[in-house]
Structure 1
């Protein structure tokens, strides 16, 4: 059964399907999952819960673009809509949406968050209220074609400049060999939250700070940040296609997994998909820490998704139980093994079956533990405006409309205005 929500917010929803158990009096819970497709296990796990609990689940697919997803949620929640009970929310959103989310600790046992990374539980806790439980976590990583590096006697790059030079060299060689569609680097360049994640890695790994520091001071207006953005702009039309300016995670993965890119910046979920049967690059892909600038060290933006319950839900108890089921260790283990998603429960990083299915999982543990967080906690409700300002200015640099120096100067002033009365 397809589900359609009324109003402008409903127009952003992609599709929905009713997943039901054979009980006439079952409670129906609606969950907003991801965009659907092979990389989204949310509908499958929701169906399992429905079958085991005797309840019914209505699954709504939301936009892949994280900025569009947040806009959808804000429209629905600000109107007090009860159309969605369970929401999948980015780790940067609990502070933005907390007024609209229930305190899950009121509906779940005291040990519901036992064994999770403490920092991730802290991230989902706002003013003592547990508003989100982490489902899977992420950190940006570099994928590369190990067969091509070997073919052309090149090393995995440790700096962004090395990546640029290696990508240019191998791209030219592959095109000379007949692959006119081959590119050196694929990344997420669209003006959305994904570009914030990419750009934060460029800036932080060049010694340019994190936009706003832990004390709430705006730090972006500096030469290291400007240099990082200028280098990234040099990639467009050179080692990355013009189309990268509109690429999100899936478009950038598609370019790489089709065999038409040497390097890819993306999240850990790509590993499992790249190795799947039928993948043109299966067995040819390596994974490494992201490069760094001459003035810094590798920094991976932390990402990931949580599950939360709308305070406008008519069935908060059942909704909270669905959240607990999907985020429980057995389901996280299956999610890790089938989709390569990084668990939020620490002990799963020592699980033999998880590591056997994805040997890189253990290597990612340190990157996840030491990654760079977006300044969502310190900027609170203003984070959406902070990120929007950052990715829009970055996009202007990538598009050739501004230089890095112009962008960071303007961005610094804009962020000062946003935080003038305190975050």
Structure 2
């Protein structure tokens, strides 16, 4: 009898433990290998904790992903427990997320870049934990630059000249698919990032300044977009007007582009065993806008937030703790070139061996230019849409830069109600 009683008690404990296991759904991006890295990280947590995970794949386009999130959250849906959110979304979506400031220790929080923690704090609530950070980078074919006796360009004008020289030379040598420069010019959030880099590098500001003043209509910004428009059909294919990150990477990684603007994730894929450009890639800061310009990259990156509508908030928070931890961020940095949000990992020898550019371009990541999300608040999505649509008009030849920016400034002024965001 005692043995039977003991067995019954153990069985009851096992049933109880099983009943307490939670299934946590997490939204994951699908750019490059992002979905797979999210899956392997979440599954490692599930194995460690005895819980289960469901991976929710989302659109490549950040614009489409945001629309999906807004629909789910506005309905109070509990279908997604953990949301992967863009660095510019805390102010837009934060009211739907749990405050994590009381769930993570001060040591855990302070391990991350302070600027990102500040970015993720809305009205005193820490609505998301940093997962990985980004800044726009210039990728180049170091073998081709060496072949033509060129150095990585320091200005956009130098990029145009080098791209044209190598493009023409390689086409004459038999590769009629070669292009000089590929980037993200589809009318979506990625174009906001590219166009902000051009404008800031020319000294044209940040669309809306820190005080909320609309500054985008200026000669430097017009010069930046005029230069960008000059690439289309010359050193960049007409199709670039519909390129997102993966379309640009596809052309570059196939060996058919000299230069590419993209995020750090492209390094790991370009260096893969089956990549035609493995060991032929160099990475540099994006060029300056002329001799008096500056190098700049738009701040990107993704955070993890827990829905207020989750049925299992404790387990969802624990998953966020696991995925944002130094151990998991180090794994992602080494295997996938995802930039950590933890400064200490930029001195880790294993990380720097796998992705040397993280050390070489550390200042690019720490000094990246931010999109005006904090100052424009809930209207940022509209601001960005107005901006990338205006930029797309210029790139596609439907408008002159100065006129497009003047019209954009008028629309933003109406949107801001006279500068009051």
Length-normalised TM-score, structure 2: 0.93
Partner of 2:216: 220
Distance in 2, matches of 1:100 and 1:128, equals 14
User: Out of 308, 311, 315, which is 1:318 matched to?
Assistant: 315
Unaligned segments of structure 1, at least 5 residues: 1-21
Rounded Cα–Cα distance in structure 2 between residues aligned with 1:85 and 1:162:
47
Q: Are 2:33 and 1:38 aligned?
A: yes
Contact 2:31-2:246 at 8 Å conserved across structures: no
Instruction: Give 1:36 shift.
Output: 6.8
1:157 CA displacement: 0.7
**Equivalent residue in structure 2 for 1:131, among 111, 127, 130:** 127
Deviation at 1:163? 0.6
Question: How much has 1:313 moved relative to structure 2?
Answer: 1.1
- Match of 1:200, SS state, is helix
What per-residue deviation string (whole Å, max 9, x for no partner) do you get for residues 135-183 of structure 1?
Answer: 0001111011111111111221111111111111111111111111110
Alignment of 1:363-402 (within 5 A): 363-402=360-399
CA distance in 2 between counterparts of 1:69 and 1:38 reads 17
Checking the alignment, whether the CA contact within 8 Å between 2:24 and 2:315 is kept in structure 1 is yes
Mapping of residues 44-123 of structure 1, within 5 Å: 44-123=40-119
Question: Does the 8 Å CA contact 1:108/1:321 hold for their aligned counterparts?
Answer: no
Q: CA deviation at 1:105?
A: 2.2
Secondary structure of the residue that 1:276 maps to in structure 2? coil
1:227-376 correspondence runs (5 A): 227-294=223-290, 295-376=292-373
The equivalent of 1:409 in structure 2 is 406
Q: Give the distance between the partners of 2:149 and 2:103, measured in 1 at CA.
A: 58
RMSD: 1.3
Q: Secondary structure at the match of 1:262?
A: strand
Change in CA separation of 1:119 and 1:36 when aligned onto 2, cut-off 3 Å: closer
Inter-partner Cα distance in structure 1 for 2:303 and 2:61: 16
2:168 and 2:317 mapped to 1: Cα distance? 53
Deviation at 1:309, TM superposition (A): 0.8
Bigger Cα Rg? 2
| Aligned counterparts of 2:102 and 2:178: Cα–Cα separation in 1 | 53
- Does the CA contact (< 8 Å) of 2:199 and 2:205 recur in 1? yes
Aligned-partner Cα distance in 1 for 2:97–2:19: 29
Task: Determine if contact 1:342/1:361 at 8 Å carries over to the other structure.
Answer: yes
| Alpha-carbon distance in 1 for matches of 2:61, 2:76 | 23
Asked if the contact 2:28/2:34 (under 8 Å) is kept, the reply is no
**For 1:116, what is the secondary structure of its paired residue?**
coil
Shift of 1:37: 5.7
Deviations along 1:305-353, whole A, 9 cap, x unmatched? 0000111111111111111110000000000000001100110001111
Residue 242 (structure 1) shift: 1.1
Once the 2 structures are TM-superposed, how far is the Cα of residue 107 of structure 1 from its aligned partner?
3.3
Which of 201, 207, 212 is residue 197 of structure 2 equivalent to?
A: 201
Match 2:415 to one of 401, 418, 422: 418
Structure having the higher helix fraction is: 2
Correspondence 1:20-31 to 2 at 5 A? 23=18, 25-31=20-26
Deviations along 1:91-131, one digit per CA (max 9) or x if unpaired, are 00001101111101243344331311111111111111000
User: Distance between the aligned counterparts of 1:238 and 1:208, measured in 2?
Assistant: 24
Counterparts of 2:322 and 2:127 in 1: how far apart (Å)?
16
Aligned equivalents of 1:408, 1:178: Cα separation in 2: 41
* 4+ residue segments displaced more than 6 Å: none
Any conservation in 1 of the 2:241–2:396 contact (CA below 8 Å)? Answer: yes
Tell me how many residue pairs correspond in the alignment.
402
Question: CA contact under 8 A between 1:107 and 1:317: conserved in structure 2?
Answer: no
State the distance in 2 between where 1:36 and 1:170 align.
Answer: 29
Matched, 1:175 2:171: yes
Q: Distance in 2 between matches of 1:419 and 1:309?
A: 30
SS of match in other structure, 1:112: helix
| TM-score where L is the length of structure 1 | 0.93
